[in-house]
């Protein structure tokens, strides 16, 4: 039997959906959301109706019948830290995604929307390799302040999918090789993959690592403390400065790399500096993760939407190529990775894990 699976991937700047018949992608759509469109919502959960409706509309417009689905698989979410794998969406998970037990992230909506669509159809909903997959070594957890350990929050699903792809290109298995993977999306995470485990990674969501289209990345703490206590901002506003309205949005009022390129082409020198600085910070983070791997690096992988920009990729390569062979996989493999995770469970090759 060929199982039909709806995959849902809410990212910070887009909602991507795919329909798979078995492992064959039969429909795909990327719905882009501008920072104004997204910015009107206070919390991620407030976007639930908006994102669900755009998904249902696009399926209807393309004559994809909901009744033909066997499962819904969503990208999730800021749950409690868990091992990688496929999880059935259950009530405790929905609760944690709704309240944002670890915070607000677009992918929190993946599990919620998948469950909502699946519920009415009496089919199962799953999530695969959520952003909280945690395989960090103890050394990497130490933050410098005993009150808070560093956390593993990153584009786990895509990072692992593209690392598997590069391993295949090299004729080996993912868990036989070491990679540094830089996911260049609305958020940017750079992970050190050692023999199939992500032993260190910048927590892209909470202000670590390079700045990105929507994230501030690492910022000077003392100066920021002053700002936080100034009374000028609510907690929500301040959170948005770190994640949502940081990075390119803060500097240039857009979360779209292509807009930035247009600004530069129109003679905006400041836009050029900011965009190049983002590449510079990514290259530095790659260097840092190569060190985490002790210099034993089989490949450096650049992926995510911004990897479509060959100029941006070129700036990173100029600085980081000496560290290892660079693989460029623009966009992401997330929809396929979601479908494959769902399929493994539907076919009985793997048991769905239970989130408690
Ligand atoms: N050709 C291009 N040139 C420059 N930037 C691009 C290009 N194509 C896409 N982008 C940028 O890539 C970013 C989106 O990447 P992606 O689709 O991987 O992110 P997302 O899924 O919305 O969020 P995230 O990956 O953080 O979950 C946006 O900033 C978009 O403008
Ligand atoms: C995927 C978690 C990191 C981010 O969105 O920036």
Predicted confidence (pLDDT) per residue in 13-33, tens digit:
889 999 999 999 999 999 988
Tell me the average pLDDT across 268-292. 98
Query: What ipTM was estimated for this complex?
Result: 0.97
pLDDT in tens, 219-238: 999 999 999 999 999 998 99
> d(Cα 146, Cα 158) in Å, to the nearest integer?
31
pLDDT in tens, 205-217: 999 999 999 999 9
pLDDT in tens, 299-348: 999 999 999 999 999 999 999 999 999 999 999 889 999 999 999 999 99
How sure is the predictor about 12, in pLDDT bands with cuts at 50, 70 and 90? confident
pLDDT of the residue at 39: 80
pLDDT of the residue at 83: 87
CB 63 within 8 A of CB 118: no
- Ligand 1 pocket check for 305: Cβ under 6 Å: yes
User: Which bound ligand lies closest to the C-alpha atom of 157?
Assistant: 2
pLDDT of the residue at 43: 84
> d(Cα 84, Cα 82) in Å, to the nearest integer?
7
Helix-helix angle 310-320:269-292, to 10 degrees: 50
| 208 Cα to the center of ligand 2, angstroms | 11
- Ligand 1 pocket check for 185: Cβ under 6 Å: yes
Q: Which residue has the higher pLDDT, 35 or 337?
A: 337
Whole-number average pLDDT of the chain:
95
pLDDT of the residue at 103: 86
> d(Cα 285, Cα 300) in Å, to the nearest integer?
12
Indicate where the chain has its CATH 3.30.420.40 domain(s).
4-134+334-346, 171-330
Ligand 1, atom 28, lies closest to the CA of 256
Q: Does domain 171-330 have CATH number 3.30.70.100?
A: no
Q: Count of alpha carbons within 13 Å of 212, Cβ hemisphere only?
A: 31
pLDDT at 76 over 90: no
| 348 Cα to the center of ligand 2, angstroms | 31
- Ligand 1 pocket check for 332: Cβ under 6 Å: yes
pLDDT of the residue at 42: 82
> d(Cα 107, Cα 25) in Å, to the nearest integer?
21
| 215 Cα to the center of ligand 2, angstroms | 9
pLDDT of the residue at 214: 95
Kindly state the helix (H) or strand (E) to which residue 188 belongs, with its residue range: strand 188-194
- Ligand 1 pocket check for 13: Cβ under 6 Å: yes
| 189 Cα to the center of ligand 2, angstroms | 7
- Ligand 1 pocket check for 214: Cβ under 6 Å: no
pLDDT in tens, 107-156: 999 999 999 999 999 999 999 999 999 999 999 999 999 999 999 999 99
pLDDT of the residue at 269: 98
pLDDT of the residue at 156: 95
> d(Cα 296, Cα 276) in Å, to the nearest integer?
28
- 181, two tokens: 């993977």
- Ligand 1 pocket check for 306: Cβ under 6 Å: yes
User: Which bound ligand lies closest to the C-alpha atom of 263?
Assistant: 1
How sure is the predictor about 93, in pLDDT bands with cuts at 50, 70 and 90? very high
| 65 Cα to the center of ligand 2, angstroms | 32
Q: Does domain 4-134+334-346 have CATH number 3.40.50.620?
A: no
Which of the listed residues 185, 260, 311 should we mutate to test ligand 1's pocket, taking the one with most ligand atoms within 8 A of CB?
Answer: 185
pLDDT of the residue at 36: 84
- Ligand 1 pocket check for 299: Cβ under 6 Å: no
- Record the pTM: 0.92
pLDDT at 74 over 80: yes
Tell me the average pLDDT across 89-105. 93
User: Which bound ligand lies closest to the C-alpha atom of 331?
Assistant: 1
Tell me the average pLDDT across 55-80. 96
């Amino acid at each position: 039997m060929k199982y039909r699976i709806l995959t849902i991937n809410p990212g910070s700047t887009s909602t991507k959906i795919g329909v798979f018949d078995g492992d064959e992608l039969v429909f795909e759509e990327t719905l882009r959301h501008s920072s104004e469109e997204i910015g009107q919502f206070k919390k991620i959960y407030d976007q639930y109706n908006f994102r669900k409706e755009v998904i249902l509309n696009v399926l209807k417009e393309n004559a994809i019948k909901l009744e033909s689905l066997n499962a819904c698989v969503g990208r999730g979410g800021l749950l409690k830290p868990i091992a990688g794998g496929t999880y059935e969406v259950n009530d405790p998970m929905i609760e944690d995604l709704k309240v944002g037990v670890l915070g607000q992230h677009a992918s929190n909506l993946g599990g919620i929307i998948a469950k909502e669509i699946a519920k009415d159809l009496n089919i199962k909903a799953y999530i695969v390799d959520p952003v909280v997959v945690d395989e960090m070594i103890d050394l990497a957890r130490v933050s410098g302040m005993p009150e808070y350990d560093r956390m593993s929050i990153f584009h786990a699903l895509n990072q692992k999918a593209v690392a598997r792809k590069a391993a295949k290109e090299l004729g080996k298995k993912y868990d036989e090789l070491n990679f540094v993977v830089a996911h260049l999306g609305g958020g940017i995470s750079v992970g050190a993959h050692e023999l199939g485990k992500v032993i260190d990674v910048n927590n892209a969501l909470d202000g670590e690592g390079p700045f990105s289209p929507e994230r501030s990345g690492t910022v000077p703490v003392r100066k920021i403390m002053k700002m936080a206590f100034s009374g000028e901002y609510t907690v929500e506003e301040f959170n948005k400065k770190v994640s949502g309205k940081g990075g390119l949005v803060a500097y240039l009022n857009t979360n779209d790399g292509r807009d930035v390129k247009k600004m530069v082409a129109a003679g905006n020198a400041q836009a050029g500096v900011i965009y190049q600085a983002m590449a510079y910070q990514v290259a530095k983070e790659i260097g840092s993760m190569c060190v985490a791997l002790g210099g034993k690096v089989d490949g450096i992988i650049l992926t995510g939407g911004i990897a479509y920009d060959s100029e941006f990729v070129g700036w990173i390569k100029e600085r980081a190529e000496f560290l290892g062979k660079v693989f460029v996989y623009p966009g992401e493999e997330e929809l396929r990775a979601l479908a494959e995770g769902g399929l493994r469970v539907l076919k009985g090759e793997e048991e769905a894990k239970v989130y408690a």
